[in-house]
Amino acid sequence: MAEPDSIGAEKENKLWKGLFAVTGIMATLVIYGVLQEKIMRVPYGNKEYFKYSLFLVFCNRLTTSAVSAGALLASKKVLDPVAPVYKYCLISVTNILTTTCQYEALKYVSFPVQTLAKCAKMIPVMVWGTLIMQKKYKGFDYFVAFLVTIGCSIFILFPAGDDISPHNNRRENTVWGVSLMAGYLGFDGFTSTFQDKLFIGYNMEIHNQIFYTTLCSCVLSFTGLILQGHFLAALDFVSRHRDCLCDIALLSTVATASQFFISYTIRTFGALTFAAIMTTRQLVSIMLSCVWFSHPLSWEQWIGSVIVFGSLYAKNLSKNRSQKPPLPKASELPRDGETDPLKGLP
């Protein structure tokens, strides 16, 4: 039997790890969300907007690729690809399309609308999971996905006025913005599902996949910038607006840091705890954006938010309960002479 002091120390250690994980994820991703909106929706200098979404993708992936390569070298792990390179490239292409749709959508819809719409990614993930991984989902999962979709639809269809704030004098184009968000959800669902398949199929290290995926993304996004003629234009913009350069550098830094905290949380506490933290982070991001960028919310949008986050928390709570060990059957209870009260339990 463990000593009380060791049990107490273990609990305290886990508490500090939990605080570290929650603080890291909340801080990096909330800052990431605020910076996204600032770069894409707030004018720099003389009312000039930053228009080069692919340049943001290139900077983010370049930073993450360099850090992941450093992590592999520091841990003395092999840099050779574990899977065929084209599979890394497939993840890279859909990831670039995901991120580009995300940035472009901020030109047409507010950050609260975009953040809540991301909650609807359950549906494409379930669709891709069925097609790629042959997974089967419970009726409750489909019910939660339906409620989340209803809540997101209410939030998008009933905005408070035109959402014209001191920081944003452009009228929102909901149709085009929602179309971009639909593209984001579809590509993101495929990316995460195919990543999962590579992890399982090739027993792949996290940093190995991150390095080759982001390296491919660097090449593809740079090629796209050159073909569009946007690379030099983006460099010219950030050279004239040094505050934009600082925002992009900070965006890339927190995007890379968030990958570390996400991996650490999943490895230490599991996917369920991570899902609960991410749900809370989305709620905090919406509230912060509403205050920081003066986004008004209608009463219908408040109802939509309650439906979405209530459904997600209910799903997390349901999973938590279902993962508790079952009570022993009568045949599994200790017989006379057996002193182990946990006999028969998993």
The one-digit pLDDT tens for each residue of the chain (346 residues) are 555 556 666 666 777 887 888 888 888 888 888 898 889 888 998 889 998 989 999 999 999 889 888 888 887 776 788 888 888 899 889 888 988 888 888 778 776 777 766 666 667 777 777 877 777 777 777 787 777 777 777 776 666 654 444 344 444 456 787 788 888 888 877 887 787 778 777 877 777 888 888 899 999 999 999 999 999 999 999 999 999 999 999 999 998 888 778 777 766 775 556 666 666 666 666 666 666 666 666 777 778 778 777 777 777 677 656 655 444 444 433 333 333 322 322 2
Q: What is the rounded distance in angstroms from the CA atom of residue 95 to the CA atom of residue 259? A: 14
Collapsing DSSP to helix, strand or coil, 44 comes out as strand
Q: Is the torsion defined by CA of 214, 215, 221, 225 positive or negative?
A: positive
The pair of structure tokens assigned to 201 is 């199929």
Structural domain boundaries in the chain: 16-319
CB 255 within 8 A of CB 217: no
Contacts of 167 (CB under 8 A, 6+ apart): 41, 42, 293, 294
Q: Taking the CA atoms of the chain, what radius of gyration do you get in angstroms?
A: 23
